[in-house]
Structure 1
Amino acid sequence: MNVSADGYVMDAEGNFDWAEPADDVLAFWTERQRNTSLDVYGRNLYEAMRYWESPREGSSKGDLEFADAWQRTQRIVVSTTLESAVRARLVRDPSHVPDADGIVHVGGPTLAAAMIDRIQEFWTVVGPAAVGGGTPFFPAGVRLKLKLVESKRFDSGPVLLRYQRA
């Protein structure tokens, strides 16, 4: 997920416009998406990501490439409030998300917090912005011992930090 320099995925108003990726970061996320077997989203992130079902006319080549990769990935949405999900399987509880082969991307801070014991790696692209509060990447009160296994600085300023459980 994209994370502010002070550790938030959304600001206090629920916005993440400060995290719009530059071309180099979008290319990274596109390649990551191409290698993902399953996306698991909470309701809010699922609704935000539905943009990629049909990007705006005149979208950049990078946006269209990401949209293509995203559309090809299977999805599960965990929600107790949605009645249905388009192009995704709907489950009501995180415990109903099955194990899957390959890379499984768990997206959305609330869902990730509920599934934290099942997550083995944490990928963050830390952006050069501080938002002063909001929804933290890691839930309050959770202590994890992590090992940095990859880092990468993007020319546009953000830094990828990839951690595994130690």
Structure 2
Amino acid sequence: MRKIMITTAVSLDGYMEGPGRDISWHRVDAELHRHLNDLLAPLSAFIDGRVTHQLMADYWPTAGEDPAASREIADFAEIWLSKKKYVFSRTLQEDRWNTEVVREFDPEWVRELKATSGADMALGGANLTAQFMRHGLIDEYRLYLNPVVVGGGTPLFPPDLTMDLRLIETRPFGQGVVELTYRPGPNRS
């Protein structure tokens, strides 16, 4: 069975985005970008909400062509372009970049997708992530804790959700970012 993982930056006060969808505080240096590229390259697909997909589609298709782009940017552009993309949207009309639009969130459809053969998948998008959390569809949480407090915005975890997570691994990066890897289930001593 394929796993679904979330890889997201999070502030010390628990936000994925600051007020006004601000992500300028995300600290992604070359070391962290190489790590993310290595993590995401073997995956089979990106599963995103419309907003996240459109942000990605506005930048990554041509990012690698920029002569000023770093090797890490160019590498991720290739990764993003090469992967299957499932986008949950009722309004998006997209057929570029190997994208399949999924009109309605159906937990059973997601379970069937996970049961198909292939490599693991990455999940993105605040609202979609919350729906996946509520239905227990996320197998691994890779949180990149940034040493900033943003004071508001989009929380990583919905305020009405309670869940147990088990810490699997920690890894520090430059600029004070720490990767925290969790899987569902209670910590056991």
Q: TM-score range by the shorter chain?
A: over 0.9
**Residue 17 (structure 1) aligns with:** 24
Amino acid corresponding to residue 130 of structure 1 in structure 2: V
Amino acid in structure 1 at the alignment position of 2:142: W
On the 8 A contact 1:24/1:156 being kept in 2, the answer is no
Root mean square deviation of aligned Cα: 1.4
Match of 1:2 among 5, 9, 15: 9
CA distance in 2, matches of 1:85, 1:131: 36
Q: Tell me what 2:179 maps to.
A: 160
Identify the residue that residue 109 of structure 1 maps to in structure 2. Answer: 126
Q: Equivalents in 2 of 1:19, 1:7: separation in Å?
A: 13
Deviation of the 1:6 alpha carbon: 1.1
User: Residues 85-117 of structure 1, C-alpha deviation per residue, up to 9 Å, x if partnerless?
Assistant: 422100112214422432111101100111112
TM-score by length of 1: 0.94
Deviation at 1:156, TM superposition (A): 2.6
In structure 2, C-alpha distance between the alignment counterparts of 1:92 and 1:114, rounded to whole Å = 14
1:53 is aligned to: 61
Which consecutive residues of structure 1, in runs of 5 or more, have no partner in the other structure? Answer: none
- Tell me the secondary structure at the aligned position of residue 20 of structure 2: coil
SS of match in other structure, 2:16: strand
Deviation of the 1:38 alpha carbon:
1.2
Q: Identify which of 38, 55, 59 aligns with 1:31.
A: 38
Q: Which runs of 4+ in 1 moved over 2 A?
A: 83-86, 96-102
Q: Which has the larger radius of gyration?
A: 2
1:89 aligned to 89, 100, 114, which one?
A: 100
How far residue 20 of structure 1 moved from its aligned partner, in angstroms, is 4.4
Q: Which consecutive unaligned segments of at least 5 residues does structure 2 have?
A: 1-7
**TM-score normalised over the length of structure 2:** 0.83
Q: Which digits, 9 at most, give the CA deviation of each residue in 1:34-92, with x for residues without a partner?
A: 02111100011101111111116221111101111221211110001212242210011
Match of 1:73 in 2: 83
Higher mean C-alpha displacement, 40-49 vs 14-23: 14-23
